[in-house]
Amino acid sequence: MADDFNESIEKTLKFGQDDARYGQIKFDLRYRYDNTDSTNPKKEVANASTARLRLGYLTPIFKGLQAFAEFEGNQDIGVNSYDSTMNGKTQYEKINDPQQNELNQLWVSYKGVPNTEARLGRQLIQIDNERFIGASAWRQLERTYDALLLNNTSLPNTSVILGYISKDQNTDSTIQSLQLPLANISYNFANMGKLTGYSYFMDFRDPSAYEASNQTYGVSFDGTRKLNDTLGFVYRTEYAYQSSYRHSTPYQADYYHIIGGFTAYGFIVKGAMEQLGGKGLNKTFDTPLGLLHKFSGWADVFTTTPDNGYRDVYASVEKELMGIRLIGFYRDWSDDTGKKHYGDEWDFMVTKEFFKHYNLMAKYAYFSTDTGGTAIGKFDTQKVWFGAGITF
């Protein structure tokens, strides 16, 4: 009965057709409850209850051309005792999910050249693991970009992404201008992994964001190796070099991310170290357009890099059991030398998908500060989330 119900909705969103010959409507509704508490004496406990809707229309492909337009809106439902960064309630802890409505995407693409797609307009951009350029999809309002993006796979096992970004629509619905040419080239080695090289030149045009400007060059190797039906290895190593660009203060900083782990009997176990360098001069290795919640801990304590950088040594365990996905992290935070300890963090999440289109989520994060963390203004922080979603 559920399959029949879902199929009828899918067909309705394709205007009664099975093949989307008239295009299709895209629908994404997500509810979330967020509770944030810390030992910061200047902040009250925050509670946010919000519902986010994305509604769009994707045209059929006509002579290689296709277009997409999408509205996105986030609405408080009941509880709204939180600092959304835009509602003026600064006495509460910050939860960056403001009540806003926006044009989320509006783009046209062309696929008339074999193995090539060119896309122009406001669009979602998710490059590699989104450490440097991503969508921040965890937030209720995701990040999108005004850009021209070219993706080519003509060469065997090779992907070439070239682009230019002129605007960034952030997760609080504000728009900032920038000039960002980018290049990302990867090659897949059979049964080994993917080697990627990239360069990003971020020139932020608003004077208040000048210091975020940077030029970054990096290389990564990411892969898996299956030994048999029950055992395999996972690994990733990445290095990037960053320096000042255009209006930013002169600086140089390094980035390292090393992951090693294994898969066995449905478990995925990893140990890793990620390091963002800092020189103690308020200039650090920064990723202003990358995912923060995913990489900087779910407690969101390190969404800005401390002056002396940070080293995140972490371990994770992931398992799917009876269709329920379980994942847990332990993180040990210090400065980029490992000598000044900032604190420890535990993160846990449970998700469940139903009938392909429906999902439930529960999530928990707790950061415990140490003397080094207290010295740079970090507080014990606890966060709890519950959510549900429908996507067609």
Tell me whether residue 243 is exposed, middle or buried, using C-beta atoms within 10 angstroms of its C-beta: 0 to 12, 13 to 18, 19 or more. Answer: middle
Looking at residues 242-263, what average pLDDT do you find?
Answer: 95
pLDDT band of 76, cuts 50, 70, 90: very high
Query: What distance in Å separates the CA atoms of residue 392 and residue 352, rounded to the nearest whole number?
Result: 16
Q: Does the pLDDT at position 198 exceed 90? A: yes
Looking at residues 72-97, what average pLDDT do you find?
Answer: 95
Confidence at residue 281, expressed as pLDDT on a 0 to 100 scale:
65
Q: Does the pLDDT at position 142 exceed 70? A: yes
pLDDT tens track for 269-307: 999 999 999 976 668 999 999 999 999 999 999 999 999
DSSP 8-state code for residue 344: E
375 sits in which H/E element: helix 371-375
pLDDT tens track for 360-389: 999 999 999 999 999 999 999 999 999 999
Report the number of secondary-structure helices (H) and strands (E) in the chain: 2, 18
Query: What distance in Å separates the CA atoms of residue 345 and residue 364, rounded to the nearest whole number?
Result: 11
In the chain, pLDDT over 90 holds for what percent of residues? Answer: 93
* C-alpha torsion sign, points 94, 97, 100, 102: positive
Looking at residues 312-326, what average pLDDT do you find?
Answer: 96
Average pLDDT, the chain: 96
CB atoms within 10 A of CB 175: 13
Looking at residues 302-327, what average pLDDT do you find?
Answer: 95
Confidence at residue 279, expressed as pLDDT on a 0 to 100 scale:
76
Looking at residues 120-134, what average pLDDT do you find?
Answer: 98
When computed from its CA atoms, the radius of gyration of the chain, rounded to whole angstroms, is 22
pLDDT tens track for 208-233: 999 999 999 999 999 999 999 899 99
Backbone angles phi, psi at 274, to 5 degrees: -120, 135
Query: What distance in Å separates the CA atoms of residue 264 and residue 273, rounded to the nearest whole number?
Result: 22
Confidence at residue 165, expressed as pLDDT on a 0 to 100 scale:
98
Looking at residues 130-134, what average pLDDT do you find?
Answer: 98
- The candidate with the shortest Cα–Cα distance to 276, out of 286, 290, 261, 267, is 286
Q: What is the pTM of this model?
A: 0.94
Confidence at residue 286, expressed as pLDDT on a 0 to 100 scale:
94
Looking at residues 309-318, what average pLDDT do you find?
Answer: 98
Confidence at residue 280, expressed as pLDDT on a 0 to 100 scale:
65
Residue 216 · residue 240 · CB < 8 Å? yes
pLDDT band of 79, cuts 50, 70, 90: confident
Q: Under 8 Å CB-to-CB from 16, ≥6 apart: which residues?
A: none
